[in-house]
Every structure is written in structure tokens, then in C-alpha cells.
Chains A and B, each alone.
Chain A
Amino acid sequence: MSNPELESDHYDVIVIGTGLSESIAAASLAKSGKSVLHLDPNEYYGGEQASLTLDELINWSNQHASSSSSNSSKYHIRYSSSSTTSLTEELEFNKRRYSLSLFPSILPSRGQLIDTLISSDVSKYVSFRILDSISLYTSTQTEKEESGKFRKVPGSKEEIFKDKSISLIDKRKLMKFLLFTAGEFEQDDLLKGKENQPLIQFLQETFSLSSSLSESIIYAISHCTSPQENTLSALQRTRRYLKSIGRYGNNAFLVGQYGGAGEISQGFCRACAVFGGTYVLGPSASLTSIETTSEGVSIKLPCHPRPVTASHLISSPNHLPSVLIQRNSSSYTNSNQEEQFITAHCVAITKTLPAALRRNTLDPDLKDDNEEIENDDTAVVVFPREGDNVVRCYVNGEGTGSCPPGQYIIYLSTALSKEPSNAKSTSPSEMLKPYLDKITSDSIFESYYISTRLSLTSDIPESSDSIIILKPYAGDELLTEGLDWEAKQGEEAYYKVIGKDGKQFFEKDATEEEELGIDQDDL
């Protein structure tokens, strides 16, 4: 079967990479009537947000095994020190039944991505469930051994009232803080002058919250990496999470099925294709040359005999030849301006229920309703560490469709100190294995890696208006912030192509409901 060539030598927009932000940009532009050519040199969809099968993850890991990442310093996201355990026969047999995310993340019920999913109708083919629980691990040290327990953090007002472990006085203080944070606190006298205080100090001094309640707020409600985070930014983030509670359920967050971010990217790619976008993946989509012209860009591709031109090119920085990025961003190469975010990651699989997901059988409320108590299928578990960044754990069970029945996927991550000397001293497995052991003692697969994200603090100076570079998420709160970041980049790219006065992002046509709504439910 010979490969077909492209239908055209010219497109309005070429998008490179099928990560979430690129896919959102591609879908919105196709929707607005632009002709879109969407390329990804990878064989799989999703780019940095991909959800991989087990065999794909092992291939991916083998490519990033090297501990030094210097040879790939041009990349804005780099992976290194990657390793995996080998596959048992059973895993080998089931390898395609896993969706393992390179971008493990939960979605706030209010925010950019939710809005985009709804306005684009991509919500019709991507499915979500409510996150079942958020727990905090507290260790109790006895003379000889360290043990600990998982404590579920109440997710809503109702749950706070029901929680018998919080005293009445504490409940009142907590409610006062939550009410303050859900409101327009920027002008509030309580905050004046304390915007840059560490959050922990603000909680304890201004709201007289106990250290245990402060810890719960910092890690399980505000999802901070460290208690030292600046109060204003932490409160602003917390407000969005608080407003998310109750929209779809008692938890602020949603879990995307089948690997989350990667599946959502595929949904936007499908939307783009439905509106006429052309898709090429794999080696035949790998650029062999790119140059800017007076009308835009001109690229060469293995899948087309002639150069392909476009008025605009949208890409994540990793997919552009370094020459182009350097030419486009002379200041960028000055490494003093970059901020690095280095994170250690673990992806593990287990066949036994992690203790943190067990529902409390002593809770009388639950016992009355169901004789058989349903355990959690998804959970976020946080491990606060004295004087160090939090270790986050995110568990996906069979209900997410990302693993075979009875199994759980465990994602662990921790932000490393920004001092490069410290970062190199330990391997990701040495750092995270102790926490994996607290979650489960019998994993059947483990994979570890380090990611390094460079922030593009100042916009990349673009020599040509026709090239739009999407900024990858650079920060330590990827779990709760990554998805909305991607959605925001996608929308910004859309307006850079269309202009502020053009059609709105995913604007609906008047006749559209009629065309799409063939579904008359008469039953």
C-alpha cells in the first residue's frame, strides 16, 4: 500500500505535536474554518501529555535512560534517568490494556479546560469521573519503627461538618478561612501586606489554624508543593479549587478516563479531523526542513513530494529544530534567565488495593446504607515532608479504564530542589521507592524517570509572526494545574492566528445544533 500524499501544498495552519495545547489550537482553528495540517513525529498521540500502553512506555523509557541530559539541552522538556522493571508474562499479555500517563493530572471542575471541553463538544467523547478522595499521610514515629496512617481530607462543607476528628472550634476557624478564600480576598484587610508571606505563617497567624489543619489546607486543599509558598498565589489557586466543589460532586476534581490528558488530546484531534483537519503521525510527519518566507512558513515532509506552505505554524518548542528556536529567541539561549523545574516520577502497577483507598468501615453512616462498602477507585495521597517538598501520589483504579480489572496504577512525583548539585545526588527510584512502599508493598511493575522543564519566563521573541511557540507547563503543581495551563496555551495560540476581532474560540454556528443534533430521544 503506497502512502498517499497530502491533498494540498498549502494549509492555513500547520500544527506540530499532538500534545494537549497543540490539539486544542488545531481543533479550534479547524472549527473556525481554517485548513489545518496536524503533524506529530511520534507514532502515538499526545506528545508530552501522551497516555502510553505498557510496551510503549518501556520503549519511551529506553529512549530516556541516560542520566545526563546535556546532549538534549535544546529541549524545553527533557527526560532522563529512566528505568523500568521487566514485564512478567501476564503483563506482557495485557500490555495493551494499560493507559499510562506521562502527564498524570486531575482536572478542576471549574477552569479553562472544562470550559473548552464543553464549548468544543469534545466532552461528548471524553469521559470523566469524580476524584474519590484526597488523603494526607501522617507518620507516627515510635522508638523503633516508623508507621503512619492515611487520613481522608474532607472535600466539602458537608464532609467537614461530619468529620468527627475536627473539634467544633477548629471547624469554625476552618469555615472562616474557606469563606474568606472563596471570596474577593485581594482587597481584604486580612490579607493586606501579607501577600508574600509564606502560606503557613498566614494560616497560623491570621486565622489561628492549628498546625494539623494548616497542613491539611496546604497540601490537600491548596495543593501546594511547600508550606513556604507565597500566600497570594496559593490563595488564588485555592479559590478556583473551592469554587469547583459541588459542580459535579463533592470533590473539586475530575479524573479523565483512559489515561486522562492523552485521551483528552485525542478528543481534540478528532474534533479537528471532523472539521476537516489532516493528520499525519510517525516518521513521515517528521520535518526535514523548515524556513520562514514572506507569506509564512515552508516545510518539507517525507509524506509529500513538494514543499508545504502555511500562513502560520504552531508548535511546542521540542518539535522545532534548535536552529529555528535559537534564531527566534536570542535571549532564550542565555541560560541565566531560565528557571528549571526538576521532578522525579514513578509509575507503578499493583494488584492489591492500596490502604489509602480503603473506606473507613467504622464510619456508621456508610455502614447503614450498603452492606458491602465500596472502596475508592481513584485517590490523591500527599506525603508532607519536613523541610522538603511534598511527595504526591495519584492512584487510578479499573474504573478509569486505564488498567485491567482489579489493578491500580500509582503515580508518584516530587519536585526536586532547584540546586542542580542536589538533584543529581540520588536516582528517582531511591527518592520515590520509600513512598511507593507506603502505598503498596507488592507492585508488579515499576518505572522511574526525571523530568526537567524549563520555564520560558519572558516570551520567546519571535522573529516572525507566523511561528507560534506553545509554552510547556513549567511549575511544580502539574497534578492540579497542568491541564488548565495547556488549555490556556491552546486558546492563546488560536487568537494569535485569528486575531482578537475574529471568530470567538469554539464559537458555535447558529445552525450547528441542528446539524449535530440528530439524536432525538423519543424513548
Chain B
Amino acid sequence: MADETPVKAVQVKLVLLGEAAVGKSSLVLRFCQGDFNENTSPTIGAAFLTQKCRLENRIVKFEIWDTAGQERFHSLAPMYYRNAQAAVVVYDITKAASLEKAKAWVKELQRQANANIVIALVGNKLDLASDSSSTSISAPTATETPETPTEDEGTAEDGDSVEESTPTPPVNNESDDARQVSTAEAEAYAKESGLLFFEASAKTGHNVGEIFTEIAKTIPFDTITPKPAANQTGNRRSAGNTENNNVNLGDGQQAKRSGCC
């Protein structure tokens, strides 16, 4: 973790997973554009969105991949998981079944993705729970001012703040509370599986930025982006090292048109 004076953006591929209609795209739109659209149609039109996240000593540029509906029939291509360094698995706190689905996606990630992928479990639609203000504590408190980017503490921190949250029983009697998944239940699962955990609302924007900041802080950058010096030796070839070796096809249009002779 040597100090590199010029702050360089590190690119991170982040994949979204979760049952249809839990608000995957809404979370990303809120994060990337600060927008919420009540009637977001199923994701159409963008291959991926990008958004930068500024930490103290680095800038993380998220390349966020949406499932584009390919999750519905379990037909996500291996390409989707390829080189993903982070994943956000979303469920809907008002639908108990969506947490079960999220657990299945976590399993799939553990099977298909990089071993050191950072996974965040996110309960969306917190605005629909009557206790929405109190549950927000479950997010790590340090996120508001990202001054101490400690890569290795991320998951441990989550567990510490559990007791402050007031879990709502799955069966509720208040008519305006649609919550079906208690904070405690989801958080216990996240802790046991080594996931970051948040409850958030794409609608109000509550806790959305924190998800991405915390992921950025948790990613073990030193293992995925070799130092420039290392590139000259063994690492030049490695498939993930795209900067030096991969061809940017689009460049060809401007590239010299000369053929062989």
C-alpha cells in the first residue's frame, strides 16, 4: 500500500444480481444519476453504467453490469461473472421469497466468480417499512466520511453494529409496514456468509451511496491490480491485465489504414 501521489482511477467490474423487480436497476440509477423513476421498465438499452467513487487514496471507477433480464430463466452467461471484482445481490425487504433467491445467487457467485469477489447483500425498498429510520443503522457508521479506507475490516465492521438495529418481526401487524424480512435475519445470514450487508431505498436514496463506498473500501486492490513495476516481468501476459495487451477494436477506425504494402 505504498503512496502513489497521482490518484489514478481503478476500474472495478461490479455485477448486479437478484430476483426480477427487486429494484436492481433503480439502485444503480440512484447511485449513478441520483434519479428514481417510479415506473422503471425492465432494464433496456445500456450495456453497463459507470460511476466513480472517491476514496481518500484512490478513485474507484465502477463499471456496473445489469443482468438485462438474463437471470429470469437462469441463463446468465459466464461472461457476466468474468473478472467481476464486486457483486451487489439485491432482495426486496417486503418479499420474503426474494431473500431466498438472493441466497441462491450468492451460491452461484461462489461457484462462478473470482474467489476474492466482494459481495454485498442489499435489502431494497426500505422506504416501505414503517421502521425505516431505525434500521438504517445496520450500515457501517464509518461510511459517511470515507477517511479510513481500511481494506481488510469491511466485513467485520458490519457485525458490530447489529445490536443497535431493531429487528422487525417477519409477521407484522401494522398495516403500513410491508416488511417481510427482518434486519436481524438477513444480517445474520450475511455475516455467516462473509457478505457486506445494507438495507437501502433506491426511492429515497437512503444508504445507496454507502453500499458502493463500502465495497470500494473492501476490495483487495493490491491483489487485483499489480503495480506498474510488476507489469514488466511475469504479469504482462496475464489475461486480466488489459491495459497493455488488449486491442481496443474501436481504435482501428482511426488507426492507420495502411495495409501490408
Q: Is the CB of A3 within 8 A of B73?
A: yes
* Residues of A contacting B5 in the complex (Cβ-Cβ under 8 angstroms): none
**Contact yes or no, A515 B260, CB < 8 A:** no
* Per-position binary interface string of chain A over residues 1-31, scored 1 when its CB falls under 8 Å from any chain B CB and 0 otherwise: 1011000000000000000000000000000
A491 — which chain B residues lie within 8 A by C-beta?
none
| Candidates A4, A243, A266, A400; contact of B72 at CB < 8 Å | A4
The answer on a CB contact under 8 Å between B70 and A279 is yes
- Are A274 and B68 interface neighbours, CB within 8 A? yes
Does A60 count as interface, using CB distance less than 8 angstroms? no
In the complex the two chains form, is A270's CB within 8 Å of B246's CB?
Answer: no
Judge whether B47 and A246 touch: CB under 8 Å: no
- Known contacts: A125-B47, A128-B246, A400-B239. The answer to whether A270 contacts B256 by CB under 8 A is no
Q: Which of A1, A278, A284, A515 contacts B69 (CB 8 A)?
A: A278
Determine the distance from Cα of A384 to Cα of B32 in the docked complex, in whole angstroms. 56
Q: Which residues of B contact A129 (CB under 8 A)?
A: 245-247
Most buried by B among A4, A274, A516, A523: A274
Task: Mark interface residues in B61-103 (1 if CB within 8 Å of A CB, else 0).
Answer: 0000011111011110111101000000000000000001100
B7 partner residues in chain A, CB cutoff 8 A? 523
Name the contact of B242 in the complex, choosing from A127, A242, A303, A372 (C-beta under 8 A).
Answer: A127
- A4-B73 CB under 8 A given contacts A267-B79, A377-B237: yes
B117 to chain A, nearest CB (A): 14
Q: Contact at A182–B260, with CB atoms within 8 Å?
A: yes
B39 contacts partner chain A, Cβ-Cβ < 8 Å:
no
Q: Which of B77, B78, B249 contacts A114 (CB 8 A)?
A: B249
* Interface membership of B240, Cβ < 8 A: yes
With most chain B CB atoms within 10 A of its CB, the pick from A128, A249, A284, A399 is A399
Which of these, A247, A276, A401, contacts B44 with CB under 8 Å? A276
Residues from chain B with Cβ under 8 Å of A4 in the complex:
20, 72-73
Q: Which residue of B lies closest to A122 (CB)?
A: B47
Q: Assess the B252–A114 pair: CB atoms within 8 A.
A: yes
> Considering the chains assembled together, what is the distance between the CA atoms of A109 and B77 in angstroms?
26
Question: Would A273 and B249 count as touching, CB distance under 8 A?
Answer: no
Please report the C-alpha to C-alpha distance between residue A515 and residue B100 in the assembled complex, in whole angstroms: 34
User: Contacts of A125 on B, CB cut-off 8 Å?
Assistant: 47-48, 79
Within the complex, the shortest CB–CB distance from B90 to chain A, in Å, comes to 16
Which B residues are CB-close (under 8 A) to A91? none
Q: With A279-B73, A399-B237 in contact, is A273–B68 under 8 Å at CB?
A: yes
Residue A157 at the chain B interface, CB threshold 8 Å:
yes
**Inter-chain contact B47/A270, CB cutoff 8 Å:** yes
Give the nearest-CB partner of A516 in chain B.
B46
From residue B249, how far is it (CB to closest CB) to chain A in Å?
Answer: 4
A254 contacts chain B at the CB level, 8 A cutoff:
yes
Q: Determine if A156 and B77 form an interchain contact, defined as CB atoms under 8 angstroms apart.
A: no
Indicate if the CB atoms of A515 and B45 lie closer than 8 Å.
yes
Q: Is the CB of A246 within 8 A of B260?
A: yes
The winner among A117, A156, A281 for most chain B CB atoms within 10 A is A281
Return the CB mask of A170-184 against B: 1 if under 8 Å, else 0.
000001001100100
Question: Inside 8 A of B257's CB, which chain A residues have their CB?
Answer: 247
Output the nearest chain B residue to A159 by Cβ-Cβ distance.
B260
Interface pair A270/B255, CB less than 8 Å apart: no
The verdict on B142 contacting chain A, using a C-beta distance below 8 Å, is no
Q: Would you call B250 an interface residue if the criterion is a C-beta within 8 Å of the partner chain's C-beta atoms?
A: yes
**Chain B residues whose CB sits within 8 angstroms of the CB of A281 once the complex forms:** 73-75
Flag whether B223 is at the interface (Cβ < 8 A): no
- Nearest opposing residue in chain B for A121, CB measure: B47
A136 within 8 A of B: no
Tell me if A405 counts as interface (CB < 8 A to partner B): yes
How extensive is the interface on chain A, given as a class? 35 or more
A486-523 to B contact mask, C-beta < 8 Å, 1/0: 00000000000000000000000000000110110001
Contact B253 A270 (CB under 8 A): no
Q: Which of A123-153 contact B (CB under 8 A)?
A: 123-125, 127-130
Residue of B with least CB distance to A272:
B68
- Chain B residues within an 8 Å CB radius of A270: 47, 68, 70, 77, 79-80
Which residues of B148-205 are within 8 A (CB) of A? Answer: none
In the complex formed, the residue of A with least CB distance to B63 is A519
CB distance from A506 to the nearest CB of B (A): 13
Q: Does B224 contact A (CB under 8 A)?
A: no
Asked if A248 meets B70 with Cβ closer than 8 Å, knowing A377-B237, A515-B46, the reply is no
Query: Is the beta-carbon distance between B261 and A257 smaller than 8 angstroms?
Result: no
Contact pick for A303, options B67, B73, B238, CB 8 Å: B73
Q: Any chain A CB within 8 A of the CB of B40?
A: no
Q: How far is the CA of A400 from the CA of B247 in the complex (A)?
A: 12
Whether, in the assembled complex, A481 has its beta carbon less than 8 Å from a beta carbon of chain B, the answer is no
Name the contact of B252 in the complex, choosing from A127, A248, A267 (C-beta under 8 A).
A248
The answer on a CB contact under 8 Å between A257 and B72 is: no
| A275 and B45 in contact, given A114-B249, A179-B261, A249-B247 (Cβ under 8 angstroms) | yes
Contact across chains for B44 and A397 when beta carbons are under 8 A apart: no
When the two chains form their complex, are residues B49 and A263 in contact, meaning their CB atoms are under 8 A apart? no
Return chain B residues, CB-CB under 8 Å to A411: none
The reply on A195 being an interface residue by CB < 8 A is no
Q: Give every chain B residue within 8 A of A96 (Cβ-Cβ).
A: 112
Instruction: Give the complex CA separation of A178 and B43 in angstroms.
Output: 50
Contact call B75/A401, Cβ cutoff below 8 A: no
Given contacts A279-B69, A281-B74, contact A127 B246 (CB under 8 A): yes
Residue of A nearest to B64 (CB): A518
* Residue in chain B with minimal CB distance to A114: B249
Q: A129-B245, A405-B238 are in contact. List 6 more A-B contacts (CB 8 A).
A: A125-B79, A128-B247, A248-B251, A270-B68, A273-B70, A401-B239
10 A-B contact pairs sorted by A residue (CB < 8 Å): A118-B249, A128-B247, A130-B247, A245-B259, A247-B256, A273-B69, A279-B72, A282-B74, A399-B238, A516-B47
Chain B residues in the interface with A (C-beta under 8 A) = 7-9, 20, 32-33, 42-51, 59, 66-70, 72-75, 77-80, 82, 100-101, 104, 112, 233, 236-240, 242, 245-253, 255-261
Give 7 nearest A-B pairs by CB, closest first. Answer: A401-B239, A273-B68, A123-B249, A266-B77, A279-B75, A266-B79, A399-B237
- Please give the residue numbers on chain A whose beta carbons come within 8 Å of chain B beta carbons, in ascending order: 1, 3-4, 45, 96, 109, 114, 117-118, 121, 123-125, 127-130, 156-157, 175, 178-179, 182, 242-249, 254, 257-258, 263, 266-267, 269-271, 273-282, 284-285, 303, 372, 374, 377, 397-402, 405, 515-516, 518-519, 523
